[in-house]
Amino acid sequence: MNKQPKYRQVADVLRREIDNGIYAPGARLPSENDLQQRFDASRNTIRNGLSLLVSEGLITSSQGLGYEVKSHEVFELNATRFENLTFPQNGDAYSTDVTNAGRRPHQTFRVEMLPASKDVAERLKVPAGTKAVLRFCHRYVDDVPWSTQATYYPSWLVEASPRLAEPGDIEEGTTRYLASRGIEQVGYFDEIAARMPTPEEARLLEIGAGVPVMLWTRTGYSVDRPIRCTITTFRGDLNRMNYEIGELSARGENA
Amino acid sequence: MNKQPKYRQVADVLRREIDNGIYAPGARLPSENDLQQRFDASRNTIRNGLSLLVSEGLITSSQGLGYEVKSHEVFELNATRFENLTFPQNGDAYSTDVTNAGRRPHQTFRVEMLPASKDVAERLKVPAGTKAVLRFCHRYVDDVPWSTQATYYPSWLVEASPRLAEPGDIEEGTTRYLASRGIEQVGYFDEIAARMPTPEEARLLEIGAGVPVMLWTRTGYSVDRPIRCTITTFRGDLNRMNYEIGELSARGENA
DNA sequence: TTGCTCAGCTTGTTGGTACAAGCTGATAGG
DNA sequence: CCTATCAGCTTGTACCAACAAGCTGAGCAA
């Protein structure tokens, strides 16, 4: 006898019905009250089952509205083209990609100087606590928060390239600006991790329960040392990262 | 007045105490009963707060034992070196990496033939439902489930390379075997996504609540068409993926 | 010493109640 | 006609109670 707790049975039944399309993406689930009668269970038990599905990222709940099946459209982000080594364009790639997808980009921007955290200092190969310039970007697509991007530059680099520390945008892109100052990025090292959002991240990206974030850390190198460290935080449900390696003429292009 | 619900206050206080090291990784939290008295709240309210932290991936709970602060050691997986185009080694890379990290690798393996799912068929550029060979690998590190890897080969390729469909291991590695049959992988396209595990994935990887999975889809290409599609599923809390792009002689190597 | 049982701790499950808070559509009032 | 209010739906928060199930160590028995 495979006796599962009642709240798990509730979750299993509803999950299967969602998978089978009985409740399509965007559709509303029956109310807790209805489900109580259907499954002959208390409201707490039903809520336990539903909260399981919420934490799986399958449904969302909103007070006064009910439970809704999530629909997932993902945004493809090309990490190798995002910042082409031969044609650096930096932040522009985001606006271009989003516009090409028929969506409306929007971003806020700020610059500050602060001591580098341990993680950042390690990657920039400077002592922990050393001052670094942070250029921070909060990005939206169609007014939905999409990602945050924090780029740190070591102080030795800022002395040689003062515009990095100025609050304004850098028209030609930072990578190109640095190249014009004789500092060329010749390679980068990417790290990708996934975890549940901190409350701070959940707030900035307006993430509900059951949605992980992806952390994309890119450390850029000149010929002799690291010159920047960019940490991008995405909503995991709305983004997918792509890398193109080697010869891919056989792939063609999607739409 | 910033009035937060009591269960959130509980979670916030405990989260801060965990961040500050008052409860170190691996340490046990006070019991629900103790916390009831400390916060003057009912057991359900305490449980709500704790379950928030569980779904954030900060702590785990086990019946009879209590709540424990999670410790996170991550395993670095080098995606560019994992399968070097010039020195293909395929599955061996995993065993080598794990052994080098001083851990003990272990894997189970199976081969089957089945109709390709829509996602796989799209990537292999064959009609959906076409037969494909699946080589499936379930990997452990120190007897802890670590990842599952499913590689699909299109049937036209299997006809030219029959050993792909045989259940046994391919000693020299599949990429090298294919090269010996005149089919060379000259490039690949990687897609990385993160989401909460399905119950099936949670079972295979023994994932508790609050831990996302990373999905790594690698499509390999010969000069004129896709030759394979590998879908790897990781525990998000134990793995980090790395890409090395361009010239990185300045990076050196960690330890 | 060794091995077993069990009391007493822990969290897990399920039931109940009550009120707060958010949303929507009907309806009364201008 | 337009607008404001409110009844009646939804989920959110908070409490209580009881028993099930898993783990550990004390202490008894061989």
Cβ of A29 near strand D (under 7 Å)? The reply is: yes
Query: pLDDT-based confidence at B254, cuts 50/70/90?
Result: very low
Is A245–B15 a contact, with Cβ atoms under 8 angstroms apart? no
The pLDDT, as a whole number, for residue A143 is 82
The pLDDT, as a whole number, for residue A2 is 59
Report chain B residues whose CB lies below 8 A from the CB of A42. Answer: none
Percent of chain B at pLDDT exceeding 90? 63
Please state the rounded mean pLDDT for residues B201-220. Answer: 94
Query: How far apart are the C-alpha atoms of A230 and A147, rounded to whole Å?
Result: 12
Label residues A130-157 b or e (16+ Cβ within 10 Å = b). eebbbbebbbbbeeebbbbbbbbbbbeb
Query: pLDDT-based confidence at A162, cuts 50/70/90?
Result: confident
Q: Looking at the predicted structure, is the pLDDT value of residue B216 above 80?
A: yes
- Within A31-185, residue ranges assigned H as helices are 32-39, 43-55, 79-82, 92-100, 118-124, 155-160, 174-180
Residue pair A162/A81 in contact (Cβ under 8 Å)? The answer is: no
Residue pair B165/B113 in contact (Cβ under 8 Å)? The answer is: yes
Distance A251 CA to C28 C1' (A): 66
* A78-83 contact pairs (CB < 8 A, 24+): A78/A242, A78/A243, A78/A244, A79/A190, A79/A216, A79/A241, A79/A242, A79/A243, A79/B243, A80/A242, A80/A243, A80/A244, A80/A245, A80/B245, A81/A244, A83/A175, A83/A188, A83/A218
| DSSP conformation letters of B221-247 | E-SSSEEEEEEEEEETTTEEEEEEEE-
Kindly report which amino acid residue has its CA closest to the C1' atom of nucleotide D11.
Answer: A63
Q: Looking at the predicted structure, is the pLDDT value of residue A211 above 70?
A: yes
CA distances from B50 to B31, B42, B57, B233 (A): 11, 13, 11, 28
Q: Looking at the predicted structure, is the pLDDT value of residue B172 above 80?
A: no
Query: How far apart are the C-alpha atoms of A2 and A115, rounded to whole Å?
Result: 56
Label residues A160-196 b or e (16+ Cβ within 10 Å = b). ebeebbeeeebeebbbbbbeeeebbbbbbbbbbbbbb
Please state the rounded mean pLDDT for residues B97-107. Answer: 83
Query: pLDDT-based confidence at A82, cuts 50/70/90?
Result: low
Which of chain D's bases lie under 7 Å from a protein CB?
Answer: 9-18, 20-24
Minimal Cα distance from A222: which residue of B?
A: B250
Which conformational region is residue A21 in: left (phi greater than 0), alpha (psi within -120 to 50 degrees), or beta? left
Provide the residue type at B188 as one letter: Y
Distance B120 CA to C12 C1' (A): 40
Query: pLDDT-based confidence at B92, cuts 50/70/90?
Result: low
**Who wins on pLDDT, B1 or B122?**
B122
Minimal Cα distance from B191: which residue of A?
A: A242
**Who wins on pLDDT, A211 or A182?**
A211
Is A187–B214 a contact, with Cβ atoms under 8 angstroms apart? no
Q: Decide yes or no: CATH 3.40.50.1370 for domain B75-242.
A: no
Report chain A residues whose CB lies below 8 A from the CB of B251. Answer: 187, 189, 219, 221, 226
The pLDDT, as a whole number, for residue A85 is 47
Q: pLDDT tens for residues B149-162?
A: 999 999 999 998 88
Percent of chain A at pLDDT exceeding 90? 62
Please state the rounded mean pLDDT for residues B82-97. Answer: 58
Token pair belonging to A78:
């090309």
Q: pLDDT tens for residues B14-46?
A: 999 999 999 999 999 999 999 999 999 999 999
A243/chain B closest Cα distance in angstroms: 5
Query: pLDDT-based confidence at B2, cuts 50/70/90?
Result: low
Query: pLDDT-based confidence at B86, cuts 50/70/90?
Result: very low
| DSSP conformation letters of A189-200 | EEEEEEEPPPHH
Q: pLDDT tens for residues A48-81?
A: 999 999 999 999 999 999 999 998 888 888 888 7
Query: Which of B42-51, B81-90, B160-169, B214-223 bottoms out in mean pLDDT, i.e. has the lowest?
Result: B81-90
The pLDDT, as a whole number, for residue B94 is 75
Please state the rounded mean pLDDT for residues B246-253. Answer: 80
Distance A11 CA to C25 C1' (A): 31
Query: pLDDT-based confidence at B107, cuts 50/70/90?
Result: confident
Round the average pLDDT of chain B to a whole number and report it: 89
The pLDDT, as a whole number, for residue A214 is 97
Q: Which 3 state secondary structure label does DSSP give A27? A: coil
Q: What are the residue ranges spanned by the domains of chain A?
A: 6-69, 75-242
Q: pLDDT tens for residues A212-243?
A: 999 999 999 999 999 999 999 999 999 999 99
Distance A193 CA to D3 C1' (A): 53
The pLDDT, as a whole number, for residue B97 is 75
Q: Is A3 on the interface with B (CB under 8 A)?
A: no
Q: Is A196 on the interface with B (CB under 8 A)?
A: yes
Query: pLDDT-based confidence at B82, cuts 50/70/90?
Result: low
Query: How far apart are the C-alpha atoms of A208 and B99, rounded to whole Å?
Result: 39
Report chain A residues whose CB lies below 8 A from the CB of B226. Answer: 250-251
Please state the rounded mean pLDDT for residues A157-167. Answer: 88
The pLDDT, as a whole number, for residue B85 is 47
Is A246–B194 a contact, with Cβ atoms under 8 angstroms apart? no
Q: pLDDT tens for residues B115-132?
A: 999 999 999 999 998 999
Assigned fold of B6-69? Arc Repressor Mutant, subunit A (1.10.10)
Is B186–A55 a contact, with Cβ atoms under 8 angstroms apart? no
Q: Looking at the predicted structure, is the pLDDT value of residue A84 above 80?
A: no
Residue that is written with structure tokens 């989003």 in the block: A98
Please state the rounded mean pLDDT for residues A148-171. Answer: 88
**Among partner residues A80, A194, A197, which is closest to B245 by beta-carbon distance?**
A80
Token pair belonging to A19:
């998978």
Token pair belonging to B190:
């990687």
Question: How many of the other CB atoms lie within 10 Å of CB of B35?
Answer: 21
What end-to-end distance do the CA atoms of chain B give, in Å? 51
Instruction: Name which of A243, A244, A254 to mutate to probe chain B: the one with the most chain B Cβ atoms within 10 A of its Cβ.
Output: A243
Residue that is written with structure tokens 């851990």 in the block: B103
Cβ of B64 near strand D (under 7 Å)? The reply is: yes
Q: Looking at the predicted structure, is the pLDDT value of residue A123 above 90?
A: yes
Please state the rounded mean pLDDT for residues B190-203. Answer: 95
Report the footprint of strand C: residues with C-beta closer than 7 angstroms: A 5-8, 40-45, 48, 62-65; B 29, 31-34, 44, 47, 61-67
Percent of chain A at pLDDT exceeding 70? 93
Provide the residue type at B245 as one letter: I
| DSSP conformation letters of A69-96 | E-----EEEEHHHHT-SSS--TTHHHHH
Chain A residues 13-52 with CB within 8 Å of chain B:
15
Phi, psi of B107, deg, nearest 5:
-145, 150
Question: How many of the other CB atoms lie within 10 Å of CB of B126?
Answer: 19
